[in-house]
Amino acid sequence: MAAMTCPACAAEVRPDDLICFTCGANLPRTQFGDEDSPLPVTVMQETIGPNRATSRISDTVLRISFPAGNVEVPAGTSVLLGRDPAESLVAAAFQGCENVSRRHAMITVDDAGHASIRDENSTNGTFVNGDRLLPGIDVRLVDGDTIRLAADVTGEVGLPRQEPSPAELSREG
């Protein structure tokens, strides 16, 4: 199998990548695969330098399974869901969804692994478990929640339950 490269920077990319993890460019979806097969979408986590003296970032990764592919958001990062490739790293997942706004909703997973979603003043609304979100208000997400963008794009939230690390456990209190 021939190696595939990013058209913007010529870095090697995998067939199921929607963005180049070297330069951040959106990769053409039809370049690498079957139009009907769902493709996973992964958002890069920023690297933390060795001199940073803050609390440890959780290993938690939020996964939203949409029909067009999975959106994965590591702790300490955010991703914009929408059709505008200039704004959203995962725009290719919503390419054929005209009801989804160009800037539809923001998913954030904080350093502790807590996830939230915020509607970005979308035209057709963002829904969690059937309830429409008020624009600009963060709503907490938990494992098993259902997200709907507009009328026809539904995704299932997968958020692993966090287990305390042995270093955080104590016999006192």
pLDDT in tens, 65-109: 988 888 888 888 999 999 999 999 888 888 888 999 999 999 999
What does the DSSP 8-state code read for residue 54?
A: S
Q: Write out pLDDT tens, residues 17-36.
A: 777 777 767 777 643 344 44
Residue given tokens 């305390």 in the structure block: 164
Q: How confident is the model at residue 132 (pLDDT cuts 50, 70, 90)?
A: very high
Q: Write out pLDDT tens, residues 25-70.
A: 777 764 334 444 444 444 444 444 444 445 566 677 899 998 888 8
Task: Give the span between the Cα atoms of 84 and 153, in whole angstroms.
Answer: 16
In this prediction, residue 52 carries a pLDDT of 44
Question: Does residue 83 or residue 10 have the better pLDDT?
Answer: 83
Query: How many Cβ atoms sit within 10 Å of the Cβ of residue 35?
Result: 7
- 147, 165 in Cβ contact below 8 A? no
Q: What is the pTM of this model?
A: 0.64
Residue 146 has pLDDT above 90, yes or no: yes
- Please count the helices (runs of H) and the strands (runs of E) in the chain: 1, 13
- Domain map (residue ranges) of the chain: 1-37, 38-45+57-161
CATH code: domain 38-45+57-161 is: 2.60.200.20
In this prediction, residue 60 carries a pLDDT of 76
